[in-house]
Amino acid sequence: MSIPKPGPTPVPMSKPFWSATAQGQLVVQRCQGCGTHQHYPRVVCRHCWLTELDWVTCSGDGRVWTYTVVHRPGHPAWEPEVPYVLALVELDEGPRLMTNIVNIAPAEMRVGLAVRAVFDDTADTSLVHFAPVDRPLPTP
Amino acid sequence: MGSNGIRDRVAIVGMGCTPFTEHWRKSTDDLVLEASTAAATSAGLGYAELDAFWLGTLDSGVSGLTLSKPLKLDYKPVSRLENMCATGSDAFRNACYAVASGAFDTAMAIGVEKLKDSGISGLATGGGGGDGTAAELSAPAMFSLLSPAYAHKYGVAEPELKEVLTRIAWKNHKNGALNPLAQFRKEVPKETIANSPRVAGALGVFDCSGVADGAAAAIIVRAEDAYEYTDQPLFVKALSLTAGPATGASDPGYDYTSFPEVVHCATDAYQQAGIRDPREQLGLAEVHDCFTPTELVLMEDLGFAERGLAWKDVLAGAFDLDGVLPVNPDGGLKSFGHPIGASGLRMLFECWLQLRGQADQRQIDNGRDLALTHNLGGQPGACVSFISVVGTTRD
Ligand SMILES: [Zn+2]
C-alpha cells in the first residue's frame, strides 16, 4: 500500500500562486511602492509594509543557493523517491524558495547551478519544481 | 538598548545530571527526581529550602506539575517553559533572573526529556507558522544545507569538507568515550564515520547527535551567599538569548554559512562577561553540535575561529580536548545524547565539573577559569540562540 503524498492546501492568500502553476507559470508578489519582489505571499511588503501588492510572472530562472540530498524522508510518502534533491533556489527576481531539483543526479548538484521552473501537474495541484536550464523536462 | 546583564549577581552551587541514554526503565518522574536530588544534595539543600523552580521540557510535560508531583513540592512556584532545543538553557536563564531580582534566595533550574516510549520515534516537530511555508524537511536535512553553502563560499572542496565534518564527530565521540554519563561511550574510527549510511546531503548517521532521555539540574543562589553552600561555586558572568526574524529560508540576505542569531548572542554575552578574546580567555566551551556542520559554523559565529577558517582549525585539532580551546569535552550532543529539554543544563554540568577539577579523565588543565555554553533552537535561517558564561571567581 502506498501512502498518498499530502499536497498543498491553497488559501485565499496563496490561491493566485497555485492558479498560476496550473497554467504553467510561476508568479510572486511585487510591491507597487518599492518594487520589491517577495515569496511566500504575504499581506504586506516585507520591505516597506505597503499593502498594495501585485502578482507578477517570473522568468522561471534562478540559481541554486544551497541544497541537500534526502536519503531519509521527513514523511513516509516520499520513501519510494529517495535519494532526491531539495534545494533553496534564488529566483532571478530575488526571492528564494525551497523546491525539488528534478532531472539531475544527486552527484551533479552544485551551488550556483542555473535552473528553470518546470511544472508537475501529476498531482491534484500543479507543483513547481526546477530542472537544470540545459535539461528541461520533456513536455508531458 | 541591549541587555545590562547580571554579571556576578548569582551563582551555581549545586548540579546534577542523569546518564543520557534510552531510559526504557525510567519515567519522566524518575529522571527529574534523580537530577533534582543530585543537584540539591550537592548544594546541601532539601527541596523545602528551595524557593522557586523552572522546568524546561519540550515534550515531557506542559506545566509545573511535571516537577511538583514527583518532588512532592508543597505549593512552591514551579514554571514550565519551552524554547525549542534551547529549552534547558532558558529554564536556567529564568531561574538566574529570579534570584538576581531578589524575588527568591534560591532557585532550581531543571531540564528533562523522555522520548523513548512516548509513542513517537525521536522528535515530532510541528509545522511552521501556519503561513503555508512549512517544508517537509528532516532536522538533518535542514542543517545539511549549511555544508554546500559553506564549501562554496570559502572554496573548500567537497571531500575536504566531509573530512572536516568527520573529524568533528570523531573528536566528540573520543571525548564521550571518557564520559560515564554519555549515551555513546566509544571511540569511532574516522572511516566508520565517513562511510556511515547517508541521511541528508553530506551527513551520515554519525554526523547526527543521539536521541536520548535524560535530565539535568542546577541550584542557583545569590552570589554573596554562594560560599555558604559550597567551596567551589560558579558565578554567572553572562546570559544571552536571541530570537531571529526566522525569514532565512524565504528571504534573500541569509547565506547559510552562519547563524546571525548566534553572532548577536555572542556579542551580547561577551560584553556582559567582559570577554575580548574568547579563544584565549575561555577554558572550554560546550556548543550545540546537533549535526557536525553546526559545530563547524558555530566556531566562527562564537569567535573561536576566523570567518572561513574554522575548517582549518578543526583539522588542526584546535578544539580537541588538548587543543587551544577544548569544545564539547563531555562529548557534546553528538555522543552525550540530546534529550531536548535537558541539553542546555547538561552543557552547564560539564562546565561545573571542569571548572571545579572534577572531570576525571577528561579534565582540562589550561589554567583558565571561564567556560561557555551555547544552545541553539530551530534551524538555519530560523532559530533562537542562548549563551552563558560562567566562572570560578567573583570579580
Ligand atoms: Zn515595498
Inter-residue contact B240 to B387 (CB < 8 Å): yes
Q: Higher pLDDT residue, B26 or A4?
A: B26
The span from the CA of B361 to the CA of B359, in Å, is 6
Task: Please tell me the predicted confidence (pLDDT) of residue B1.
Answer: 55
- Dihedral sign for Cα A112, A116, A117, A119, please: negative
- pLDDT average, residue stretch B169-182: 98
- From the list B136, B152, B247, the residue facing A111 with the nearest CB is B152
Encode pLDDT of B319-346 as tens digits: 999 999 999 999 999 999 999 999 999 9
Task: Please tell me the predicted confidence (pLDDT) of residue B122.
Answer: 61
| Residue B277, domain member (yes or no) | yes
Q: Going by DSSP bridges, is the β-strand pair A114-120/B203-204 parallel, antiparallel, or unpaired?
A: unpaired
Is the same domain home to B350 and B204?
yes
Instruction: Count CB-CB contacts under 10 A for residue B385.
Output: 30
- From the list B140, B148, B250, the residue facing A67 with the nearest CB is B148
Inter-residue contact B182 to B337 (CB < 8 Å): yes
Determine whether the interchain pair B144/A68 forms a contact, defined as Cβ–Cβ distance below 8 Å. Answer: yes
| Residue B166, domain member (yes or no) | yes
The whole model's pTM is what? 0.94
Is the same domain home to B225 and B260?
no
Which of the listed residues B233, B265, B299 is the one where a domain comes to its end?
A: B233
Which of the listed residues B233, B268, B285 is the one where a domain comes to its end?
A: B233
pLDDT band at B137 (very low <50, low <70, confident <90, very high): confident
- Dihedral sign for Cα B181, B343, B11, B372, please: positive
Is the same domain home to B159 and B199?
yes
Q: Shortest Cα distance from B14 to chain A (angstroms)?
A: 40
The span from the CA of B12 to the CA of B110, in Å, is 13
- From the list A11, A88, A112, the residue facing B145 with the nearest CB is A88
Q: Give every residue of chain A whose pLDDT is below 50, as ranges.
A: 139-140
pLDDT at B300 > cutoff 70:
yes
For chain B, give me the number of helices (H) and strands (E)? 13, 11
Task: Please tell me the predicted confidence (pLDDT) of residue B127.
Answer: 46
Considering chain B, what is the average pLDDT of its residues? 94
Q: Which residues of A touch B141 (CB under 8 A)?
A: 68, 70, 74, 86
Is the same domain home to B37 and B144?
no
Task: Please tell me the predicted confidence (pLDDT) of residue A4.
Answer: 85
CA distances from B91 to A55, A83, B55, B289, B375 (A): 45, 39, 6, 20, 12
pLDDT at B129 > cutoff 50:
no
- pLDDT average, residue stretch B125-149: 73
Is the same domain home to B198 and B223?
no
pLDDT at B307 > cutoff 80:
yes
- pLDDT average, residue stretch B179-194: 98
Q: How many Å from the N-terminal Cα to the C-terminal Cα in chain A? A: 26
SS3 label, residue A98: strand
| Residue B129, domain member (yes or no) | no
| Residue B240, domain member (yes or no) | yes
Is the same domain home to B274 and B385?
yes
Interface membership of B199 toward A (CB under 8 Å) = yes
pLDDT at B54 > cutoff 90:
yes
Range(s) of the domain holding residue B101: 10-118+213-233
| Size of chain A in residues | 140
Is the same domain home to B178 and B221?
no
Encode pLDDT of B210-259 as tens digits: 999 999 999 999 999 999 999 999 999 999 999 999 888 877 889 999 99
For residue B39, the cross-strand partners are none
Measured between CA atoms, the residue of chain A closest to residue B143 is A68
Instruction: Determine which of A66, A67, A81 to mutate to test the interface with B (most B C-beta atoms within 10 Å).
Output: A66
Task: Please tell me the predicted confidence (pLDDT) of residue A73.
Answer: 85
Task: Please tell me the predicted confidence (pLDDT) of residue A139.
Answer: 45
Is the same domain home to B172 and B317?
yes
Which of the listed residues B199, B233, B267 is the one where a domain comes to its end?
A: B233
- Report the number of distinct structural domains present in chain B: 2
Give B136-189 as a DSSP string: ---HHHHHHTHHHHHHHHHT--HHHHHHHHHHHHHHHHHHHTT-TT-S--S---
Q: Which residues of B touch A4 (CB under 8 A)?
A: none
Is the same domain home to B171 and B269?
yes
Q: Which stretch of DSSP H or E encloses residue B13?
A: strand B10-17
ipTM of the complex: 0.89
| Size of chain B in residues | 395
Determine whether the interchain pair A70/B200 forms a contact, defined as Cβ–Cβ distance below 8 Å. Answer: yes
Cα–ligand 1 centroid distance for B37 (angstroms): 56
Q: Which residues of A touch B135 (CB under 8 A)?
A: 86, 98
Chain A residues 78-107 with CB within 8 Å of chain B = 78, 83, 86, 88, 90, 94-98
Where in the sequence numbering do the catalytic residues of B fall? 85, 338
| Rounded-to-5 percentages of helix, strand, coil across chain B | 35, 20, 45
Determine whether the interchain pair A112/B152 forms a contact, defined as Cβ–Cβ distance below 8 Å. Answer: yes
pLDDT at B111 > cutoff 80:
yes
| Residue B123, domain member (yes or no) | no
Determine whether the interchain pair A65/B138 forms a contact, defined as Cβ–Cβ distance below 8 Å. Answer: no
CA distances from B17 to B34, B163, B285 (A): 8, 33, 18
Chain A residues 12-41 with CB within 8 Å of chain B = 13-14, 38-41
Q: Which residues of A touch B136 (CB under 8 A)?
A: 73-75, 78
Q: Which residues of B touch A97 (CB under 8 A)?
A: 250
Tell me the CATH number at B30.
Answer: 3.40.47.10
Task: Please tell me the predicted confidence (pLDDT) of residue B121.
Answer: 60
Domain ranges of chain A: 15-132
Is the same domain home to B51 and B66?
yes
The CATH class that applies to domain A15-132 reads mainly beta
